[in-house]
A and B are shown apart, each in its own frame.
Chain A
Amino acid sequence: LPEADTPSPERIFAVVVAIMQSQFDLDESELVPGAHLVDDLDLDSIDGVDLSVKAEEELGVEIQPEDLGELQTLQDVVDLLHRLVTRAR
């Protein structure tokens, strides 16, 4: 497949930001790459499930529950999703 079919990290970041805004009532200004998922964005384990489900729908990837445990920041989420979309293509 051509390279262009794989969403860029920037595109994935935008997708994650949009999910967090719609699902968790978060403001775009808080959603910076370095934002800590728990300490800054106040996400909990249920949010983790919802974020996974939405990201799977949007990006056509499959996220394993154990992948989520290691995520600390918003950038970690983007990196994980980028790895998964690259592998999926």
Chain B
Amino acid sequence: VSVSIQILVSGTTDRAMNRTLRILGTGASFLLFGLSSAVLGMLLYPLLLLVPGGRVERELRMQWLIHQGFRAFVGFMKAVGVIRVSTEGAEALRAPGAVLVVANHPTLIDFVLLGSLMPQLDCVAKRAIWANPFMRGIVRGAGYVPNDDGDSTVAACAERLRAGRNILLFPEGTRSPGDGSLGPFHRGAAHVAIAAGHPLLPVTIRCVPRGLMRGQKWYDVPERRMHFTLSVAEPIAVPEADAPRGTGARRLTAGLREHFEKRLALA
């Protein structure tokens, strides 16, 4: 009996120790992230403006730098034992031709994880970031799309796809509710798909045990290392019906939601 108690106790201590290390690792990761974002936005962006080339070349260079930064960040989080990442079908994210990636948004680092897998990735971000002195260099430099008005945002996203650029949209528009369910879907992603006549590529993101979710503090790290799974499914085509776009976007969004509910076993 005493032996098994000994094992139990030391197991608990190990876990507590392990968890403390992972809290420190998470803190260090975010500190690193903040610092490198500042360097990227405030130092590298002005330097990038000096490199010859047009706006598009500049944006793609910035996105490549962001991708390298995300890779380093994800690599660091893996190395310090905070996360593990598995992917399914990720080669579709890097296939030739533009992809319109749509993903659920359970955690704080979903964009970073996807960005670490894609050297070029446009996205939509809050308009307020364009006024943030630490961040505006990044969003301007990368040519991300500000989310200010439905119609013009959709047009700008469709334009990126037509120009052969990958774009990521979260139909929930923000992080999912912290209980593991899906938030309400906006129809923007479906509108972009319809406007550009481009299929949607759904990526289901899971994180077990749950961490970095809405309502959780960054230091609220779970008992075990977080295991992320990113599963890329078959693309969902835009139906060739001549329905008004309002109707088409409703149907496509309903189908998309059903897809994620099934994948997350919510339905």
Which residues from chain A sit less than 8 Å from chain B, CB to CB? Answer: 22-25, 44-50
Contacts and interface: CB of A to CB of B under 8 A. Distances in A.
7 contacts: A22-B247, A24-B246, A25-B250, A45-B150, A46-B150, A46-B151, A47-B246
Interface in B55-85: none
Contacts of B149: 45
Nearest to A50: B246
A25 B150 contact: no
Interface of B: 149-151, 154, 186-188, 191, 244-247, 249-251
Contacts of B150: 44-46, 48-49
Given A25-B251, A44-B186, 16 more contacts: A22-B244, A23-B247, A24-B244, A24-B250, A25-B246, A44-B187, A45-B151, A46-B150, A46-B151, A46-B154, A46-B188, A46-B245, A46-B246, A46-B249, A49-B150, A50-B246
A50 B251 CA distance: 17
B244 A23 contact: yes
Contacts of B244: 22-24, 50
A21 to B, nearest CB: 10
Contacts of B247: 22-25
A10 B192 CA distance: 36
